[in-house]
Amino acid sequence: MSLLQFDGKLIDGLQFCAKAYSLFEEIRNQPNGISNLRMRTTNVEKKLLEEILPISRYIQTKYRTGRYISVCWIQGNQQFDAEVFEQGGYIDAGCYPAKSFLEVICAMHPNEYLSWELLEKKGGAFGLDGIRRLKKSKDIESEPVVYTNGEFVEFFSQLIIEQINKKVSIKYPENTTLIVSCSLNNLYTPDEWLLLQEMVISAEIEHNFREIFVYDTTTEYNFSLWSRR
């Protein structure tokens, strides 16, 4: 299992997705594979879940007739995670740039990693807000939490906004898209996702990204924020 099949290789977008999903299943089917994916045990799992799969999700959303996308993921400390090259009728018409860049960030509850550990040790946990590590024993305690109205949605909308704002002041190449991979703090209904979208959009974040693509890793939910330039 290696990331070399991606690193620095220009790959058709759909083939890139197929390779990413194949690697995921390869890891998953190994002894302790599910545990390794959950805990991001090595750099392979971490990069796959936090960069390569989010890029795959973006590609699958955007790839279509007249917009053929190839991607080159690069492992390193450069100011982007992947280069994108596009061709087709929409590019010829000037609807999309022929070359652009992708940067990925993850938005998750601060207790998300504790829930992973609880799943490993005890097989389950209550909601993320009710999880804490005990100071003396270092054990993880999980208690049920009751929400009213859209409290958990408002909380997560602020997490997304904070993550985006961390990237806003960084200088990226022209035509960079920011992908925000969300591990939601609850199972959202379509109405709750719409509320989250409205909250993030209403924040009117000033940015120079070509697009900010926000999606949930569990469902098909996604939305975009566009540059006002």
| pLDDT surpassing 80 at residue 118 | yes
Average pLDDT over residues 83-91: 98
List the beta strands (DSSP E) in the chain. 10-12, 68-73, 82-87, 99-108, 131-133, 140-142, 176-183, 211-216, 222-226
The pLDDT, as a whole number, for residue 125 is 78
Residue 134 predicted with pLDDT over 90: no
Q: Which residue has the tokens 């909380």?
A: 155
Percent of the chain whose pLDDT exceeds 90: 79
Give me the half-sphere count of Cα atoms (radius 13 Å) on the Cβ side of residue 23: 22
Alpha carbons 52 and 6: distance in angstroms, whole number: 9
Give me the mean pLDDT over the 55-73 stretch: 98
Record the pTM. Answer: 0.94
**pLDDT exceeds 80 at position 27:** yes
Place of tokens 């790839």: 63
Query: Does residue 122 surpass a pLDDT of 80?
Result: no
